[in-house]
Structure 1
Amino acid sequence: MSSLFTKIVHGEIPAYKIAEDSQFLAFLDVRPNAKGHTLCIPKKEVDYIFDMDEQMYMELMRFSRKVALALEKTVECKRVGVAVVGLEVPHVHVHLIPLNDMGDMNFANHHEMSEEQLKELAESIHVNL
């Protein structure tokens, strides 16, 4: 059965896309820890990050860096935090979270945003790629 993220890759579930290439996709988390919380995923469904081959792992990190730099240009923050947890969805995903304090990394906290706010933010980040 396809993961939630594979369904996003195939267009079966909508997402606020920021960046995409032939191997990877970046989109806004709809339950963000902070404004701009973004997920970077490989299009190929792999459950655990360390099961990825080294080349794909390095390319995912390169893709994530590019997105993080665009986030820094778009969302006011001290820096962009990075987390890979891998328990909630069985598909590798890198969390990029704009940080102003350590509480922004707490996955129990969620920043409420409307669909319109998410759409506008995704477009703004994309422009800064």
Structure 2
Amino acid sequence: MKKDDCIFCKIAAGEIPSRKIYEDSDLIAIMDLNPTSKGHSLIIPKEHCTNIYDIDEDIAAKVMKTAKKLATKMTVALNCDGFNLLQNNGETAGQTMFHFHMHLIPRYKDADNNMLKFTSVSFSDEEMDAIRDQIIKD
């Protein structure tokens, strides 16, 4: 299903030009228009899905297989020193385009802002146990 007001659906349908690096019957991979590094690209399912919560499981698996293939190829072609795969879900998590997509971000030793930074938070052992119990509860 295509969503008429979705830019990524329009790119996947060829209605908006893009710099494709990969395409098959289910996915398209394009260079990001606002890259954070040389080669920063996106894998986008052709069928509209908003995020990880509503993507078809087979397509999600295909996204990851394609990410591995492209990351390997891009690492050699671009001579990068590392690689990030990033996928955001929901505005609070940084999602700005509400069509599932995975970022392929080559990283270079001498580049500015080379690493994604995470701030650690602390939880007591009891809190960690309670969080685990929430997650594994049926």
CA shift, 1:105, in A, is 5.1
- What whole-Å deviation, never above 9, does each CA across 1:74-94 have from its counterpart, x for those lacking one? 112111111001411110100
- Larger deviation: 18-27 or 65-74? 65-74
Task: Normalising by structure 1, report the TM-score.
Answer: 0.75
1:80 aligns with 2:88: no
The residue number in structure 2 matching 1:12 is 15
For the aligned residue pairs, the C-alpha RMSD in angstroms reads: 1.6
Query: Per chain length, whose mean CA-contact separation is higher, i.e. which structure has more relative contact order (CA < 8 Å, sep 6+)?
Result: 1
Which sections of structure 1, spanning at least 5 residues, go unmatched? 107-129
Identity across matched positions, percent: 35
Looking at CA atoms only, which structure, 1 or 2, has the larger radius of gyration?
Answer: 2
Q: Establish whether residue 98 from structure 1 lines up as the match of residue 101 from structure 2.
A: no
How many residue pairs were aligned? 106
Contact 1:80 1:98 in 2 (8 A): yes
TM-score, normalisation: structure 2 = 0.71
Q: Give, in angstroms, the shift of residue 49 of structure 1.
A: 1.6
**Larger fraction in helix:** 1
Which consecutive unaligned segments of at least 5 residues does structure 2 have?
90-94, 117-138
Q: Distance in 2 between matches of 1:71 and 1:52?
A: 25
In 2, Cα distance between the equivalents of 1:105 and 1:36? 15
Alignment of 1:20-35 (within 5 A): 20-35=23-38
